[in-house]
Each structure stands twice: as structure tokens, then as C-alpha cells.
Amino acid sequence: MEKSTGMILAHAGEEYDQYYNAIVPPIFMNSLNIFPTVDAYYDSDKRDRHTYCYGRVQNPTVRILEEKINELEKGAETYVFSSGMAAATAAVLSACKSGGHVVCVRTAYGPLKDFLQNYCREHMNIRTTLIDGDDPMEMEEALTEETQLLVLESPSSVVFHVQDIERAAEAAHKKGALVYIDNTFCTPIYQNPIEMGADFVMHTASKYLGGHSDLIGGSLTVKDPALGKKVRIMREQLGSIIGPMEGWLMMRGLRTLEVRVKEHAKTALAIAQYLEGHTKVRKVYYTGLASHPQRELIIKQQSGHTGLLSFELESTTEQAKTFCQALKIFKIGVSWGGYESLVTMPYARETEENARKMGAGQNVIRIHCGLEGTKALMDDLEQAFQKVFR
Ligand SMILES: *Cc1c(COP(=O)(O)O)cnc(C)c1O
């Protein structure tokens, strides 16, 4: 019997008889484990999944979580970190050597680009080439014999463009480079990049995996066990494992991942269509819309969509700010992926020229559609339109 996603979320990695048949595993809030003999302690690195030694290396609660994500992403190994950035930087440090070269999509997460362009350049002499990522030819041209890592984020904020993961992986592997992808937007429910050739799949848990806006964490899944060993050692040496409490909360969030993301996506599609039909909206950016310019590729590699979308009003940036401030249910705040609806203006402090380079105007508004109900959210948007355009 093939395991359903729901079965993985509910039961994978769990061994009830290891903890008094409790249906929910405990939070193993311990920093160390003890051994019956001196030799058993020294042999602890020949560990199987029941041998634990020290909490910076591994923790039984975290291990269960990792097995769930690993099965969902169809990887060889998964490690959970104290944040998405801890997972991302561990991937870069596992893949890259000094003097190397990285190709990275321009829309990748800002702090990761900063790490590549500042720390890695200054301290490791690693060059980074930024690309748009939409055009496979541009990507193939950017990859060289020196390239060690290709960094993707598909889809990526703010305008939700996608990259052809399979084609990108083929091109990168031809040059001997590894492929990293931030899969946070799709979650493992809607996209499994390892099946398309990716070597590293990263998620940040403050978004959908956690789902309740109450934790910081990240995961890194690898296709190849040898790479997994490097990642495990990196996490151990940088000391970036997630804490047991956050790990447990993340596991609790994960159990409802599938039902939550479907609801977020259903609401987001209805709202994207409503906005697309609105006379005061210039443009809507959402992977679920039939009008998305990369529709064919999206259907090929994603089985669903995020609850995030962006749009530009027929308005000035100041009017767009007034619109955001007029919303009552959508709260102004960064991050997303929790139960609650949020709104931001990611380019409000950019020049119009810079904003356009990143794909939208300075007035672009990004919303996360939460679980408050589609009608309530639409009514909220409608009353904000009334306030700005009356
Ligand atoms: C939030 C976010 C991150 C960063 O994750 P942290 O857990 O905050 O380090 C990375 N990528 C994407 C797409 C994000 O939205």
C-alpha cells in the first residue's frame, strides 16, 4: 500500500512503543543521553536511529520530524535547523569551496543573497552571478566549469515567477554544480524538487510547515546520502539544530499541513480572480491564475499553489499605503504561512526603477490569505477599495 501524504504527516517516524504508547511523542527536553558502559559511549557514533549522545547533534523529537519531511520530499536525508537561514547557509557551506562560483536567481531570499555576495565573497572568494531565472538559455550561459551551486527559488516572491527545475538541474549537473531550491512557497504538498533533479531542498518552518506563527525553524533535505553526511556535520559544527520545543511545535503544525495549504490556496485563487476582475487593479501576480505567463511550466511542476499573491492598484504608492492601512483583517506584517492574513508593500522603499527591475511597481501590495474565510477577506478588501477610491 502506498503511503498517503496524510499518513506520512500523521504517523511517519513515530514509534509509539518507545514512549509508553503515547499517541503524541514527548518533547525530549534533554541535552544528553547516558550509556551503560564506556565502550558503548565510544561506539555511539556507529549510531542507529535509537542511539543519541548529545543534543547539539541529534534529538529524538527532532528525528521524528526529520523522517516526516524526508518522506514528504522523497529525499535521502533531512536535517532540521534553528531557522531557514541556518539551513540555507549550511547548504552553501556544504556545496561550495573557496574560489568557487554560485549562480543565484535575483528573486532569491534577500539575506541568502547577502550571505553569498558579502560573506562568501569576502571570506571565501566565491563569486555570485545573479540571473532572472525565467529563461533557461540565460541560466545555461551563467553556469561555468567553476560553478559549484545553482540557487533557485520557485516560485519566488514578489511576482511569483517560476524556474524550470528539471531543465535547470540538467544544465547545472552538466557543469558539475549542485542545485539548491527554496521550496517554501509550494511546501512538499505541491512540489517535490528532488524528483526533478534538485540536490538540496530547503523549507523555512515559520511559514506553512509550522503554520501557526509561533516558531522559527528550517529544514534541508538532500538527494544523496554523501551530501547528507556533509550537512549533518555542518549542523553539528555550526551548532544550528532546532531546539526540541520548536521541533515539537513544528511537528504539531505539520500534522495539518495538507488541509491547511489546500484551504489557503482555495481562498487565494478566489481572491486573485476577484482582484483580476476589479477595475482599480492594474495587475495580479499569482501562480494559480490562468493568465500567468508561465502557466504551462507551472502546471508541469506544481500540483497546487500558495496562499500568497501580489497586485498593483491603479494608484500612487501613497494610495496603496492607505489601502493597506484601511484593511482590518489583513494585518501589516512580514512573513506569512500562518493562520492569519497579512499584507506588506515589499517595494515601497525602492525607487520605481529598482522596483520595476524586480518585476513590479513601487506600489505593489503582497497579501497572504489566511484562514479567516474567503468572504470575510473579500469584504475586507472591498471596504478598503471604497475608502481609497470613493
Ligand atoms: C522567511 C523565508 C526565509 C527565511 O527563513 P528563516 O526561517 O526566517 O531563516 C527563506 N526563504 C523564504 C522564501 C522565506 O519566505
Average pLDDT over the chain, rounded to whole? 96
Which residue has the CA at smallest separation from atom 4 of ligand 1? Answer: 84
pLDDT at 161 over 90: yes
* Cis ω for the linkage preceding 36 (within 30 of 0): no
The residue behind cell 541568502 is: 112
pLDDT over 90 at 164, yes or no:
yes
The candidate with the shortest Cα–Cα distance to 109, out of 90, 84, 126, 143, is 84
HEC readout, 254-319: HCCHHHHHHHHHHHHHHHHHHHHCCCCEEEEECCCCCCCCCHHHHHHHCCCCCCEEEEEECCCHHH
CATH, residue 305? 3.90.1150.10
Q: What is the mean pLDDT of residues 139-144?
A: 97
Please state the domain count of the chain.
2
109 pocket-lining for ligand 1 (C-beta < 6 Å) = yes
Domain boundary among 255, 277, 297: 255
Residue closest via CA to ligand 1's atom 12 equals: 109
Q: Is the CB of 240 under 6 A from ligand 1?
A: no
Residue whose CA lies nearest to ligand 1 atom number 8 = 84
- pLDDT tens across 208-259, in order? 999 999 999 999 999 999 999 999 999 999 999 999 999 999 999 999 999 9
49 pLDDT band, cuts 50/70/90, is confident
Same domain, 246 and 263: no
112 Cβ partners below 8 Å, 6+ apart? Answer: 85, 88, 89, 92, 104, 151, 182
Domain shared by 264 and 250, yes or no: no
Ligand 1 pocket mutation pick from 89, 113, 204, 238 by most atoms within 8 angstroms of CB: 204
Do residues 248 and 361 both lie within one domain? no
Q: What pLDDT is stored for residue 231 in this prediction?
A: 98
> For residue 84, how far is its CA from the centre of ligand 1 (angstroms)?
5
Ligand 1 pocket mutation pick from 187, 207, 308 by most atoms within 8 angstroms of CB: 207
| pLDDT tens figures, 334-386 | 999 999 999 999 999 999 999 998 899 999 999 999 999 999 999 999 999 99
Is residue 193 domain-shared with residue 291, that is, in the same domain?
no
Q: How many CB atoms lie within 10 A of CB 123?
A: 9
Q: Which residues of 170-182 are buried (b: 16+ CB within 10 A; e: fewer)?
A: ebbeebebbbbbb
Q: Give yes or no for residue 44 having a pLDDT over 80.
A: no
Q: Print the domain residue range for 240.
A: 5-255
% of the chain surpassing 70 pLDDT: 99
Task: Out of 202, 220, 255, pick the residue that ends a domain.
Answer: 255
Pocket test for ligand 1, best of 206, 308, 336 (most atoms within 8 A of CB): 206
Q: Is 154 in the pocket of ligand 1 (CB under 6 A)?
A: no
Which of 255, 284, 306 represents a domain boundary (last residue)?
A: 255
Q: Which CATH number covers residue 129?
A: 3.40.640.10
- Would you place residue 1 in the very low, low, confident or very high pLDDT band (cuts 50, 70, 90)? confident
Check whether residue 267 and residue 375 sit in a common domain: yes
Q: Where are the beta strands (DSSP E) in the chain?
A: 77-81, 101-105, 127-131, 147-153, 178-182, 200-204, 218-222, 281-285, 308-313, 331-332, 342-344, 365-368
Same domain, 174 and 236: yes
Residue bearing cell 508593500: 345
* Same-domain status, 219 and 334: no
Query: Would the CB of 250 count as within 6 Å of ligand 1?
Result: no
Cβ of 310 closer than 6 Å to ligand 1, yes or no, is no
Instruction: Please check whether residues 232 and 269 belong to one and the same domain.
Output: no
Q: How far is CA 273 from the centre of its chain?
A: 25
Q: Are 227 and 6 in contact (CB under 8 A)?
A: no
The Cα 387–Cα 152 span in angstroms is: 39
Pull the grid cell for residue 307.
496562499
**pLDDT of res. 41:** 87
Does one domain contain both 34 and 137? Answer: yes
Is any atom of ligand 1 closer than 6 Å to the C-beta of 156? no
Query: Considering only CA atoms, which residue is closest to atom 5 of ligand 1?
Result: 84
184 lines ligand 1 (CB under 6 A): yes
pLDDT digits (tens, 9 = 90+) for 101-124: 999 999 999 999 999 999 999 999
What is the share, in percent, of the chain residues with pLDDT greater than 90?
A: 95
pLDDT digits (tens, 9 = 90+) for 75-91: 999 999 999 999 999 99
Taking residues 93-108, report their average pLDDT: 97
Residues 173-196: tens digit of each pLDDT = 999 999 999 999 999 999 999 999
Residues 345 and 281 in one domain: yes
Cell of 18: 518507545
What does pTM read for this prediction? 0.96
If residue 215 lies in a helix (H) or strand (E), which one and from where to where? none
270, with CB counted inside 10 A (0-12, 13-18, 19+), is middle
**Statement: residue 318 has pLDDT above 90:** yes
pLDDT number for residue 47: 63
User: What count of other Cβ atoms lies within 10 Å of the Cβ of residue 36?
Assistant: 7
Q: How far is the CA of 180 from the centre of ligand 1 (A)?
A: 14
